[in-house]
């Protein structure tokens, strides 16, 4: 027998010791998820300090998170902009910096109600579904991994989004040349030798979602080349990239694109580029 307040404190302390940066938020989210209540309700209940016995299933979840399984795999959901997306083993967990990448696309699409958009490497569908639902436009989305595509399909259906999912390598699919007002991608871009430190990324995000060859830019180069054909004149290309790749990606675009712009993420790091065809 314990009480919620001390369970919450002990869990947060354990997560902190395990090296989890967002230890407090994760402790709250995981316990709230297990009790089937909101985070706000949990904090209110913990304040009352009533007796509480944790179920073995909750203790098991806490163990798994302390062993650095991603929170989103344990709860089965990831929050992205206005969406609650189903995620799990075999699909990339969408990141907050990608929310800002979507903002640039939405700004561009504001004056284009009938725009056609392509999201390359859609994963859970985060970018494609956000654009389809927030801009009210039609989005084509490509994903190579069958497992990721299953999550994308479920998320497209549950959000009733106008997204056409295509499964395959973007380099092999037949796509309409000059058809797109916007091509957007958060492709794999980590150099093969720069294995991430965080176990949640290294051990749980699929390798196919992370690594982009020797300098990380293999897919970015291929997407840029293909997009020269796919994007109509005056249309936009938006590419997320790693911290430190901005100059290389801008240079890559300067030959065939106009208005090449480097954009910072909310923490001020240059993490994506937009350009006009």
Each residue of 138-148: b (16+ CB within 10 Å) or e?
A: ebbbbbbbeeb
- Least gap, CB of 188 to ligand SAM (angstroms): 5
Tell me if 197 sits within 8 A of 20, measured CB to CB.
no
> Does residue 68 interact with ligand GLN by CB under 6 A?
no
SS3 184: strand
**Residues 244 to 273: which contact ligand GLN by CB under 6 A?**
none
Reported as half-sphere exposure (CB side, CA atoms, 13 A), residue 187 has a value of: 26
- Helices in 55-202 by DSSP H: which ranges? 56-66, 71-75, 96-109, 126-135, 146-158, 199
Instruction: Work out how close the CB of 88 gets to ligand SAM at its nearest, in angstroms, rounded to a whole number.
Output: 13
Indicate which of ligand GLN, ligand SAM, none lies near residue 196 (CB less than 5 to 8 Å, by partner kind). ligand GLN
Instruction: Considering the complex, state which of residue 112 and residue 191 has its C-beta at the smaller distance from ligand GLN.
Output: 191
Residue pair 210/197 in contact (Cβ under 8 Å)? The answer is no
Q: What does 190 interact with, of ligand SAM, ligand GLN, none (CB < 5 to 8 A by kind)?
A: ligand GLN
143 binding partner (options ligand GLN, ligand SAM, none; Cβ < 5 to 8 Å by kind): ligand SAM
Judged by beta carbon distances under 5 to 8 A according to partner kind, the member of ligand SAM, ligand GLN, none in contact with residue 235 is none
Nearer to ligand SAM, 133 or 186 (CB): 186
Comparing CA positions, the residue from 201, 198, 206 lying closest to residue 20 is: 198
Q: According to the binding rule CB under 6 A, does residue 190 interact with ligand GLN?
A: yes
What is d(CA 94, CA 99) in angstroms, rounded to the nearest whole number? 9
DSSP 3-state of 86: strand
Q: Does 238 bind ligand GLN (CB under 6 A)?
A: no
Can you tell me which of 8, 201, 237, 252 binds ligand GLN, judged by CB under 6 A? Answer: 201
In the complex with ligand GLN, the residue whose CB is nearer, 34 or 274, is: 274
Tokens of 188: 């794999």
Question: Applying CB under 6 A, does 73 fall inside the site for ligand GLN?
Answer: no
94 lies in the binding site for ligand GLN (CB under 6 A): no
> Terminus-to-terminus CA distance in the chain, angstroms?
64
Residues that bind ligand SAM (CB under 6 A): 92, 94, 98, 121-124, 126-127, 142-145, 148, 169-170, 186-188, 208-209
> CB within 8 A of 124, min separation 6: which ones?
78, 80, 85, 86, 87, 91, 92, 93, 94, 148, 151, 152, 155
- Member of 188, 237, 270, 277 binding ligand GLN (CB under 6 A): 188
Piece of the chain touching ligand GLN by CB under 6 A; list 55-63, 81-89, 188-196, 255-263 = 188-196
- Give the nearer residue to ligand GLN in terms of CB position, either 52 or 211: 211
Residues that bind ligand GLN (CB under 6 A): 95, 186, 188-190, 196, 201, 210
């Amino acid at each position: 027998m314990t009480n919620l307040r001390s369970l919450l404190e002990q869990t947060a302390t354990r997560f902190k010791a395990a090296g989890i940066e967002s230890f407090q938020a994760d402790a709250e989210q995981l316990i709230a998820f297990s009790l089937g209540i909101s985070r706000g309700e949990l904090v209110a209940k913990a304040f009352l300090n009533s007796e509480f016995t944790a179920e073995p299933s909750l203790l098991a979840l806490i163990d798994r998170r302390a062993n650095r399984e991603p929170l989103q795999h344990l709860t089965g959901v990831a929050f992205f902009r206005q969406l609650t997306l189903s995620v799990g083993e075999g699909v990339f967990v969408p990141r907050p910096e990608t929310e800002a990448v979507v903002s640039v696309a939405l700004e561009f699409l504001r004056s284009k109600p009938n725009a056609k958009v392509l999201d390359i490497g859609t994963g859970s569908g985060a970018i494609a579904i956000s654009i389809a639902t927030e801009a009210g436009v039609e989005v084509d989305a490509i994903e190579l991994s069958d497992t990721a595509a299953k999550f994308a399909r479920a998320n497209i259906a549950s959000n009733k989004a106008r997204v056409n999912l295509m499964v395959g390598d973007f380099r092999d699919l037949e796509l309409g040349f000059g058809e797109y007002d916007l091509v957007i991608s958060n492709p794999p871009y980590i150099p093969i030798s720069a294995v991430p430190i965080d176990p949640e990324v290294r051990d749980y995000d699929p390798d196919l979602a992370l690594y982009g060859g020797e300098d990380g830019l293999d897919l970015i180069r291929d997407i840029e080349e293909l997009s020269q054909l796919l994007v109509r004149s005056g249309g936009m290309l938006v590419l997320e990239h790693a911290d430190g790749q901005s100059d290389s990606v801008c240079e890559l675009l300067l030959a065939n694109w106009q208005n090449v712009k480097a954009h910072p993420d909310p923490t001020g790091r240059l993490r994506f580029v937009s350009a006009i065809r």
